[in-house]
């Protein structure tokens, strides 16, 4: 990978803002005060020339309501591979072996970002990029590690994840983390939103991108998934790929397999070993013309 341009995202926590207006004075091109005094960011991704002022404004805010996340610097090209993920996860957990091996989603995430998704850190706002929704949300260390390996997050950002000043929370947030397309945490929201994305692309005649949604077999309990599954199948939304990481956590199980539910509603289906990279890749990239695709990736608990 050649040097990717550095990125900066600006987020103002409107609920914390006291309306002192410091930021708007220091960086008027980026911050402005609404009539009620609360500051809003008029430019959430300011160019290089304005970033020094933005950093100063963030420092000056008395209640730290301005959060900045700065993406990959050209000096830190992504030079990480799959074997580096345990060390990256250890920066967050301090527990290399266990945290890595206990992640049920690490292999699916790696194959997606390494071989499937048409995304890169220098075009996180490209309308034609693929989208990835981590609907499962919880346990995001594997996703942060993969995003770091692929240059969306700087390695040192992992060290203080989950702290007050970090953009990296215990669930991923699309507003604060470059490369994250869905803010999650509560289960059962990713597939319905993906249906909306696929319908938008149909309106826009945008035939290139796909939206991949990662859910768990326990998450599939949520009825909202079933509302979305039915409509996506009936409408033939073939830009959607749902990956169910099935580690047998659903309290009441799915007799006959989760893929049977999707098949009945008109989806193309595949099943693979959720730790075998070639199997995952083959399943995720199979043809499914006119139908959405579900891949059930089985992982032993």
Where does this chain bind another protein (CB under 8 A)?
Answer: 14-15, 36, 127, 174-175, 182-183, 185-186, 188-189, 191-204, 206, 223-224, 227-228, 230-231
Which CB atom, from 86 or from 172, has the smaller least distance to another protein?
172
Which CB atom, from 86 or from 192, has the smaller least distance to another protein?
192
Q: At what angle do helices 141-149 and 85-93 cross, to 10 degrees?
A: 130
By the 8 A CB rule, do 187 and 196 touch? no
Which CB atom, from 135 or from 148, has the smaller least distance to another protein?
135
Backbone phi and psi for residue 263, each to the nearest 5 degrees, phi listed first: -60, -45
Burial per residue of 114-148, b for 16 or more beta-carbon CB atoms within 10 angstroms, e otherwise: eebbebbbbebeeeebbbbbbbbbebbbbbbbbbb
Please name the residue ranges forming H helices in 61-177.
85-93, 96-101, 106-111, 141-149
Taking the complex as a whole, how short is the minimal distance between the CB of residue 275 and another protein, in angstroms? 30
Which CB atom, from 216 or from 274, has the smaller least distance to another protein?
216
- Cα separation values, 18 from 29, 41, 253, 265, Å: 20, 15, 49, 51
Taking the complex as a whole, how short is the minimal distance between the CB of residue 62 and another protein, in angstroms? 21
Which CB atom, from 218 or from 257, has the smaller least distance to another protein?
218
Taking the complex as a whole, how short is the minimal distance between the CB of residue 190 and another protein, in angstroms? 9
Which CB atom, from 57 or from 191, has the smaller least distance to another protein?
191
Taking the complex as a whole, how short is the minimal distance between the CB of residue 127 and another protein, in angstroms? 7
Taking the complex as a whole, how short is the minimal distance between the CB of residue 71 and another protein, in angstroms? 17
Taking the complex as a whole, how short is the minimal distance between the CB of residue 200 and another protein, in angstroms? 3
Measuring CA to CA, which residue among 252, 248, 249, 260 is closest to residue 294? 260
Q: In what order do the strands lie in the sheet with 293-298?
A: 131-134, 211-216, 240-246, 293-298, 268-273
């Amino acid at each position: 990978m050649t040097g990717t341009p550095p990125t900066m995202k600006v987020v103002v926590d409107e609920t914390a803002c006291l309306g002192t207006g410091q930021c708007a004075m220091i960086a008027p091109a980026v911050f402005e005060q609404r009539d009620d005094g609360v500051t809003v960011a008029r430019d959430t991704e300011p160019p290089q020339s304005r970033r020094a002022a933005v950093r100063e404004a963030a420092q000056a805010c008395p209640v730290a309501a301005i959060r900045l996340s700065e993406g990959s610097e050209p000096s830190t090209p992504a030079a990480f591979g799959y074997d580096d993920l345990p060390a990256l996860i250890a920066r967050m957990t301090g527990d290399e072996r266990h945290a890595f091996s206990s992640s049920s989603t690490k292999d699916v995430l790696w194959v997606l970002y390494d071989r499937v998704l048409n995304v890169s850190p220098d075009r996180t706002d490209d309308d034609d990029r693929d989208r990835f929704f981590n609907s499962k949300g919880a346990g995001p260390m594997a996703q942060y590690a993969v995003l770091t390996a692929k240059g969306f997050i700087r390695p040192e950002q992992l060290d203080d994840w989950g702290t007050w000043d970090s953009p990296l929370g215990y669930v991923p947030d699309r507003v604060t983390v470059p490369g994250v397309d869905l803010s999650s945490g509560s289960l059962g929201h990713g597939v319905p939103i993906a249906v909306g994305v696929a319908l938008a692309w149909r309106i826009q005649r945008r035939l290139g991108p796909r939206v991949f949604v990662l859910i768990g077999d326990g998450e599939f309990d949520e009825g909202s998934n079933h509302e979305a599954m039915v409509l996506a199948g009936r409408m033939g939304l073939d830009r959607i790929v749902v990956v169910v990481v099935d580690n047998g956590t659903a309290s009441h199980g799915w007799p006959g397999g989760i893929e049977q539910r999707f098949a009945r509603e008109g989806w193309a289906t595949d099943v693979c070993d959720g730790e075998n990279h070639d199997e995952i890749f083959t399943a995720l990239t199979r043809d499914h013309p006119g139908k959405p695709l579900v891949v059930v990736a089985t992982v032993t608990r």
